[in-house]
Structure 1
Amino acid sequence: MTQQLNTQIFAYTKQLADSAFKAHSLALKGLEKVAELQLAALEKHAQATGEFITDVLETRDAEGLRTLWEKGANLGRQNAERAVSVTQEIFAVTQKTAESLGALVQEQQQAANDAVAAPVAAVKKAAAAATK
């Protein structure tokens, strides 16, 4: 009886560790993708801002200031659009990661249900055979 209990506990612990590893792996992949998206957006922002600063330093007359004003407004709009786009991509990655984790949880619940149901069915079968 003790051996059977130890075997079941070992199997459950192994299953739990495997599930934790899978969940951790999924979470890290999602986090890695989010970090990549954010770094790419930061790089684009920095490049656009650097170009704008170069234009500011090269401006010498009123016409240049007028052009600079338009470029500044355009830069602000582009940065806002880029931020919204990246936010949407990050949300999609987060949603996909959450769905994957949800599927993993459902898989584990089904495995746990099967693990509990199998010994109960075996006991019922043995009891039915003993009564005949």
Structure 2
Amino acid sequence: MTPFADHRSFAHFVEQATAAQAVAWRGFERVADLQMQAMENQARSVAGLFADAMVAQDATALRAIWEKGEGCQRDNAARATTTAGEILDVARQTANTLTAMVTPAGND
């Protein structure tokens, strides 16, 4: 015996479940995009640092690269913090959308 009264209630359930899954996947896709962008930016900045280190000729050049590396690390930490905030925003928006889908219109 199914918990659905008739075919229409089952069809409505399937429509709602499909819509909820689509919302969840859009949120997941956005989070994945944000993480990929953050990794690409970090890889670009570190690749430039390594390229400079490979052509360094003396200790003075290596000290300059060391200082540049410190700045690179600070920038990467700031970008990671920003990305984490954006990911939390996406998660909150997704949760709010899903909540709105399951909350009856009159229960605000």
Q: One fold, TM greater than 0.5? A: yes
The CA deviation string for residues 3-56 of structure 1, in whole angstroms up to 9 with x for no partner, is xxxxx5212111110110010000000011011111111110111111010011
Secondary structure (helix, strand or coil) at the match of 1:60 reads coil
Partner Cα separation in structure 1 for residue 72 and residue 55 of structure 2: 17
Partner Cα separation in structure 1 for residue 17 and residue 51 of structure 2: 50
Measure how far apart 1:79 and its partner are: 0.7
Partner Cα separation in structure 2 for residue 55 and residue 41 of structure 1: 22
Pairing 1:35–2:32 present: yes
The CA deviation string for residues 103-122 of structure 1, in whole angstroms up to 9 with x for no partner, is 00114xx6xxxxxxxxxxxx
Measure how far apart 1:60 and its partner are: 1.0
**Total equivalences in the alignment:** 103
Pairing 1:50–2:55 present: no
Which amino acid is the alignment partner of residue 103 of structure 2?
Q
Secondary structure (helix, strand or coil) at the match of 2:6 reads helix
Of 8, 11, 15, which residue of structure 2 is paired with 1:11? 8
Partner Cα separation in structure 1 for residue 21 and residue 42 of structure 2: 31
**What is the TM-score of this pair, normalised by structure 1?**
0.74
Of 58, 79, 85, which residue of structure 1 is paired with 2:76? 79
The residue that corresponds to 1:113 in the other structure is none
**What is the TM-score of this pair, normalised by structure 2?**
0.89
Identity %: 34
| Structure 1: 4+ residue segments shifted above 6 A | none
1:108-123 alignment runs, 5 A limit:
none
Which amino acid is the alignment partner of residue 60 of structure 1?
Q
Secondary structure (helix, strand or coil) at the match of 2:103 reads helix
- Aligned-residue CA RMSD in angstroms? 1.7
The residue that corresponds to 1:97 in the other structure is 94
Measure how far apart 1:80 and its partner are: 0.6
| Structure 1 unaligned residues grouped into runs of 5+ | 1-7, 111-132
Which amino acid is the alignment partner of residue 89 of structure 1?
E
Larger Rg: 1
| Structure 2 unaligned residues grouped into runs of 5+ | none
